[in-house]
Amino acid sequence: MDTSAVLITTMQHRRGVIEQALAAAGWKLHTYSDVAAALEHLKTKPYASVFCDETLRGASVGGFLAWSRRIAPEVPFYVIATTGDHTSLMAVHAPDGVVAFPPDAGSIPRPVKASMWDVPAANLRDLPLEGRTSLMRLSDLIEMLALSAASGVVTLGAGQVGRVYLSGGQLEHVVCVQGSLESTGVRALARLLILPDADFQVLPYRTPSRRTIHVSTAAALSEAARLIDEQVRDAELLEAVARASPEATGIAVGYALAESPSDVRADGSSAFASGVQALSALKQSVGHVSHLAIESEREALAAVRYGDENLLVATAPRGRSVVLLAALAKVVKQTRH
């Protein structure tokens, strides 16, 4: 019976408790607090099971889980976690179980009668990294590449949907293209992370045209997760305006000082540019403007500035500016309560 198990834990105050419980359950441990050393074991040495502490420094459970499933998909992978909601761990690559912390020997899975992986894995260079984000989340893929300090370009939709540049596991540049809206940096990363499904490939590294990520990969993923909530709110805001003003020809939301909007509907990019230009022109003569309704020879434009320099803009056929402004103001008021 193979009783060897890899334990990954970087928190010293948790390590002893976990090791004692796993040993009592019959496991022969290879404990790692260094993420690179743990990954090297997964890639090159035999093991019968993996136990990963939920609280890690410089790595994530998702990254190790993705690597484990890629290298040896039949080897059990268990997460050691405090009581709480762990549904995020079950989204795509599900662990074989969650062991409550502090663990006791009775709650820990026992060694199986034979190792399910008793030889080193095949050379990973020979295994193509490609697939669909419905089967491997982009966040897990990025964390996996970061763990192994890999360099490459992750393309989504053959690069027409998105491109993610990493050098030595560090994110450098991200591009996301959705219709007429192109975003870069952490905001683009957030958009790519919530794509329902897309083809991906990991291609050889090439230097990006510019650098738009200036924080660590872990920090970028964390900030992108925060922005996802903001993007969901923006989408709901645009949908509310579309329902309230079906005649709108363009709707956009974003930061008043940004070069481009955060999200658009129809010809929203043009609407946002017109709104920002109009507010900038008025600022010279009347100062800060929070609500704006104007008519041109071709169309009506309305804009509402709210919160921390957020801007909601819409255009409609000529003669509808006041009605459009009322709709924008009502939607903003409702979403802020």
pLDDT in tens, 279-327: 988 988 888 889 999 999 999 999 999 988 899 999 999 999 999 999 9
pLDDT digits (tens, 9 = 90+) for 32-82: 998 888 988 988 888 899 999 988 887 778 888 888 888 888 889 999 998
* pLDDT attached to residue 114: 43
- Residue 93 binned pLDDT confidence (cut-offs 50, 70, 90): low
Cβ neighbours of residue 200 under 8 Å, at least 6 residues apart? 130, 131, 132, 133, 136, 138, 141, 154, 155, 156
| 182 vs 277: CA distance, rounded Å | 20
Grouping H, G, I as helix, E, B as strand and the rest as coil, residue 7 is strand
Residue 263 · residue 253 · CB < 8 Å: yes
- Closest by CA to 14, choosing from 85, 94, 102, 97, is 102
- Closest by CA to 179, choosing from 265, 285, 97, is 265
* pLDDT attached to residue 258: 79
Tokens 């370009």, residue located: 153
| pLDDT higher than threshold 50 for residue 119 | no
Can you tell me the mean pLDDT for 259-269? 88
| 287 vs 181: CA distance, rounded Å | 30
| pLDDT higher than threshold 60 for residue 91 | no
* pLDDT attached to residue 314: 97
pTM of the model: 0.65
β-pairing, 28-32 with 4-8? Answer: parallel
To the nearest whole percent, how much of the chain has pLDDT over 90?
49
Contacts 24+ apart (CB under 8 A), 290-294: 291/325, 291/329, 292/325, 293/321, 293/322, 293/324, 293/325, 294/321
Cβ neighbours of residue 168 under 8 Å, at least 6 residues apart? 149, 150, 151
Measuring CA to CA, how many Å separate 176 from each of 12, 138, 165, 185? 40, 13, 12, 9
Residue 195 · residue 179 · CB < 8 Å: no
* pLDDT attached to residue 124: 45
- Residue 6 binned pLDDT confidence (cut-offs 50, 70, 90): very high
Can you tell me the mean pLDDT for 107-125? 56
| pLDDT higher than threshold 70 for residue 126 | no
Residue 156 · residue 200 · CB < 8 Å: yes
* pLDDT attached to residue 128: 55
| 264 vs 123: CA distance, rounded Å | 45
Grouping H, G, I as helix, E, B as strand and the rest as coil, residue 50 is strand
| 135 vs 70: CA distance, rounded Å | 11
* pLDDT attached to residue 57: 81
Can you tell me the mean pLDDT for 224-235? 89
- Residue 113 binned pLDDT confidence (cut-offs 50, 70, 90): low
- Residue 232 binned pLDDT confidence (cut-offs 50, 70, 90): confident
Can you tell me the mean pLDDT for 177-193? 89
Phi-psi region of 47 (alpha: psi -120 to 50; beta: other; left: phi over 0): beta
* pLDDT attached to residue 80: 93
* pLDDT attached to residue 127: 43
| pLDDT higher than threshold 60 for residue 92 | no
| pLDDT higher than threshold 70 for residue 155 | yes
* pLDDT attached to residue 112: 66
